[in-house]
Amino acid sequence: MKQAFVSALQADQNITTYFLVCEKEIRATREGKSYLRLELGDRTGTIEARMWDGFDRDAASFNRDDFVKVQARVESYRNKLQVSLDKIRRAEAHEVDLADFFAHTTEDVEQLYKKLLEFVASIGNVWLKGLLENILTDLDIIPRLKRAPAAKAMHHAYLGGLLEHVVSLCGLCRAVLSHYPEADPDLLLTGAMLHDMGKLEELTYERSIGYSDEGQLLGHIMIEYERVGKRIDAIEGFPSDLKTLVQHMILSHHGKYEFGSPKLPMFREALMLHYLDDLDSKMGAVRAALASDKGEGNWTAYSGALERRFLRVDLFRRAEESAAKNSPLPVAPNEGKSSSAKG
């Protein structure tokens, strides 16, 4: 049974508990002293760990994505918590509960997938609808789509996060399309459903979330550009101009060169896709920050994804309302004066 979760760790705390090994490497100090450096995690987050002495034999007994049992002390180094390991060993499957280690969408993935297929069914363009059915009902893709995260850390970074993000984005597109009826709904929704499909191969998510070799070398934009292009080429008669538009939305959905887009969005639906994707991603990061119990007072912990802390408005308003309730009522300027008093 897991005793201590990452989110609850505090400096100067001694712990004996289980973790998932997310990263593992042997490093050396400037003086040449070797040490074991790990990133350990559970469903509440990850933390860096180091072992300085006697790690050679212990380190050989486990690998990345293994579970380990540790005896350690939590320390604060440069205002950041890390774990100093005294003992570590590989844990057996019967010692751990998988639910303790893998953060998962709170949504029902089967219902999310059903909603996704409803969006596919709403597409009027036969070529785009055929392309979406070809990809999203592929028996090899379905189980990965239901499990994949949307990112390693930035947003929807948990199992099922990608499907949750895509369905949420489609709903956002529908809402905005009612305000901008001149936009092509089929084109925008197709972009929303395909824009992150490369993450199925970019990320690894059988246990810890990381990057595949292909993901490190190419990134999800180039992966999905290639994969979707091949799917389109396999559909006889698919219009070449429509293929170009779909591929452009894939290439440009990050919006700026510095954000990894090979091209800037250059038509209406591509620009809409970028901003709506960005909005849903950022709101997902805000939701994660507010859901965490880390932070101080009315403020969340610092969000690396959004480079700021967030005010917990409910706590802030509650404090203000409590202060107002306990303070004496203000006296009106003329209160207490005789009604017959002359000005």
Best-predicted range by mean pLDDT (39-48, 55-64, 245-254, 311-320) = 245-254
- Tens digits of per-residue pLDDT, 101-155? 877 888 899 999 999 999 999 999 999 999 999 999 999 999 999 988 887 766 7
240: its two tokens: 């070449």
Residue with tokens 């990061």: 285
- 192: its two tokens: 């929303």
What residues does each domain of the chain span? Answer: 6-100, 109-289
The residue written with tokens 């180039």 in the block is 222
pLDDT given at position 339:
47
Q: Which of the four pLDDT bands, split at 50, 70 and 90, describes residue 60?
A: confident
147/205 Cα distance (integer angstroms): 8
**pLDDT at 212 exceeding the cut of 50:** yes
Tokens of 94: 């019967």
Over residues 192-208, the pLDDT tens digits come to: 999 999 999 998 887 76
- The pLDDT of residue 341: 45
Within 10 Å of residue 86's Cβ, how many Cβ atoms?
15
Contacts of 69 (CB under 8 A, 6+ apart): 16, 17, 18, 88, 89, 91, 95
> In whole angstroms, what is the distance from residue 226 CA to residue 120 CA?
21
Higher per-residue confidence, 293 vs 221: 221
Q: Domain 6-100: state its class.
A: mainly beta
Q: Which residue has the higher pLDDT, 232 or 210?
A: 232
Token pair listed for 187: 């084109």
90, pLDDT greater than 70:
yes
Nearest to 229 by CA among 206, 250, 209, 199: 250
Q: Is the pLDDT of residue 25 over 80?
A: yes
Cα radius of gyration (the chain): 26
What is the mean pLDDT of the segment spanning 43-63? 87
> Of 234, 80, 236, 230, which Cα lies nearest the Cα of 250?
230
Q: What is the mean pLDDT of residues 150-168?
A: 85
Given pLDDT bands bounded at 50, 70 and 90, which one contains residue 16?
very high
Output the pLDDT for position 128.
Answer: 98
Dihedral (Cα; 316, 318, 319, 322), 10-degree rounding: 160
The mean-pLDDT minimum among 40-44, 316-320, 329-333 falls in 329-333
Q: Which fold has domain 109-289?
A: Hypothetical protein af1432 (1.10.3210)
Average pLDDT of the residues in 24-40: 91
pLDDT of residue 153: 66
For range 54-63, the mean pLDDT: 84
Q: Which amino acid is at 228?
A: V
- CB pairs under 8 A, 24+ apart, for 239-247? 239/127, 242/125, 242/127, 242/128, 245/187, 245/269, 245/270, 246/128, 246/131, 246/187, 246/190, 246/191, 246/194
pLDDT band per the 50, 70, 90 thresholds, residue 340: very low
Q: Identify the residue whose tokens are 């197709």.
A: 190
Look over the chain and give the mean of its residue pLDDT values, rounded to a whole number.
Answer: 88
Checking if the pLDDT of 34 tops 50, the result is: yes
- For residues 155 and 311, the model is more confident at 311
Question: Who contacts 18 (Cβ-Cβ below 8 Å, separation ≥6)?
Answer: 2, 42, 67, 68, 69, 70, 91, 95, 96, 100
Confidence of residue 304 (pLDDT cuts 50, 70, 90): confident
* Structure tokens belonging to residue 220: 């999800």
Rounded to whole angstroms, the Cα distance separating 141 from 139 reads: 6
Query: Mean per-residue pLDDT for 297-319?
Result: 87
Q: Which of 44-48, 262-266, 292-296 has the highest mean pLDDT?
A: 262-266
pLDDT at 58: 80
